[in-house]
Amino acid sequence: MTTITEQNKQICLTFLDEVHNKHNLKAINDYVSKDVVSHDPMPNQKAGTEGVKETMELFRSAFPDKHITINDSMAEHDKVMVKLTCFGTHKGDFMGMSATNNPIAYEEVLIFRMKDGKIVEHWAVADAMALLQQLGVKEI
C-alpha cells in the first residue's frame, strides 16, 4: 500500500523529470496548483503557475540542453525535499548575460508542500555562486 507521503514524493519527482528533462511545460498545470507560492522566486517572477512557466522558459532558452539528476529525496507528511544537480550549456541570454557556450553544473535543494496531489508551496536554495562563476562573472 502506497501512503500519501510516498505519493507526494513520486508526484514531485515525476514533475521535475517532466519539466526539466522532458521539457514538458504543460506538466506544470498537472502537478502545480494555479496559485502556488514560490518563496524564493527569480527576480520579477510573476505569481502562481504563470511565474513558474516563465522561469522554466527563461532557463530553457538560456540552457536549451538543461537537464537534472536527482541526488537525493525524502518526504514527510505534506513536504517533499529534493537535492539535485542541474547541467547544461549557456547558449542564450540569461539575466542580462549573453551566451558564453560554457557548460554549467550546479546543485539545488527544493522543498515542496503538497495538498490534494498538487504542489502548493515551493522553496529553492540553488548554488547561484557556482552558476555565475561558470558563466564567467568575475564580480558580484
- pLDDT at position 1 is 56
- The answer to the question of residue 99 being in a domain is yes
Euclidean distance between CA atoms 94 and 92, whole angstroms: 6
The enclosing domain of 127 has a CATH number of 3.10.450.50
Distances, alpha carbon 115 to alpha carbons 17, 40, 108, 119, in Å:
20, 19, 23, 7
The stretches in the chain having pLDDT less than 70 are 1, 140
pLDDT digits (tens, 9 = 90+) for 103-116: 999 999 999 999 99
Structural domain of 125:
4-134
- The answer to the question of residue 54 being in a domain is yes
- The answer to the question of residue 32 being in a domain is yes
With 0.75 as the threshold, say if the pTM is over it. yes
DSSP state of 94: B
- pLDDT at position 125 is 96
- The answer to the question of residue 81 being in a domain is yes
Element (H, E) at 88: strand 79-89
- pLDDT at position 140 is 65
Q: How many domains does the chain have?
A: 1
- The answer to the question of residue 140 being in a domain is no
Euclidean distance between CA atoms 67 and 19, whole angstroms: 9
- The answer to the question of residue 27 being in a domain is yes
- The answer to the question of residue 48 being in a domain is yes
Euclidean distance between CA atoms 132 and 119, whole angstroms: 28
Distances, alpha carbon 84 to alpha carbons 1, 55, 61, 109, 136, in Å:
27, 17, 20, 6, 22
Euclidean distance between CA atoms 24 and 75, whole angstroms: 24
- The answer to the question of residue 49 being in a domain is yes
Residue 86: name the closest of 59, 114, 106, 65 by CA: 106
